[in-house]
């Protein structure tokens, strides 16, 4: 009789331990899944290239990328690390004999921000918003010289172009 009590008691302890451990892992996962400060970076790599209205590459154009976190200069084609922000990024490119190419990259909230909101991480959402880790820009900018463009501004089109000559 004593053996049955001991076996039954051990099974119960194992059951409780197993589910307690599972709960702790679930709790840690939900706490850290939404925090972009922990899982994300304040920096993002973006690529910039320039082209004519006909689609031919324009090499060695000087481009300036600007947001409220800084100013970055590149010579196309190039990739560069920029600091993320909730603010949109302005891009302007110039080269002799070409009209300037301009654009605006829309900053969009990423999964980390939504995770913070869903799992109740109000403090995490505020931190991620202020550090910029909760936002992303499009990864690639194809600048058409003589045009004004928007990247990431609409759900149905990844790029909108307006001619500056009209």
Is 80 within the bounds of a domain?
yes
What's 136's domain CATH number?
A: 2.60.40.1120
What average pLDDT values come out for the chain (166 residues) when binned by 10 residues? 50 56 50 47 93 97 96 98 94 97 92 58 59 81 97 58 45
Number of domains comprising the chain: 1
Q: Which domain holds residue 158?
A: 36-163
Distance CA 27, CA 9 (A): 27
Q: Are strands 147-151 and 101-105 parallel, antiparallel or unpaired?
A: parallel
pLDDT of residue 96: 96
Q: Residue 70's Cα: distance from chain center in Å?
A: 16
Is 25 within the bounds of a domain?
no
**Buried-state track 33-70, b at ≥16 Cβ within 10 A, e below 16:** bbbbbeebebebebebbbbeeeeeebeebebebbbebe
């Amino acid at each position: 009789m004593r053996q049955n009590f001991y076996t039954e008691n051990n099974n119960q302890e194992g059951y409780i331990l197993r589910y307690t451990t599972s709960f702790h892992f679930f709790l840690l996962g939900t706490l850290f899944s939404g925090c972009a400060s922990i899982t994300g970076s304040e920096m993002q790599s973006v690529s910039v290239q320039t082209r004519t209205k006909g689609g031919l590459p324009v090499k060695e154009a000087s481009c300036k990328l600007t947001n409220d976190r800084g100013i970055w200069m590149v010579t196309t084609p190039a990739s560069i690390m920029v600091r993320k922000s909730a603010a949109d990024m302005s891009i302007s490119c110039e080269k002799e004999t070409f009209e300037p190419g301009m654009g605006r990259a829309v900053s969009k909230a990423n999964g980390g921000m939504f995770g913070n909101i869903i799992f109740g991480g109000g403090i995490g959402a505020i931190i991620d918003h202020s550090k910029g880790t909760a936002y992303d820009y499009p990864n690639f900018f194809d600048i058409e010289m003589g045009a004004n463009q928007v990247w990431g501004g609409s759900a149905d089109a990844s790029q909108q172009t307006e001619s500056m000559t009209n």
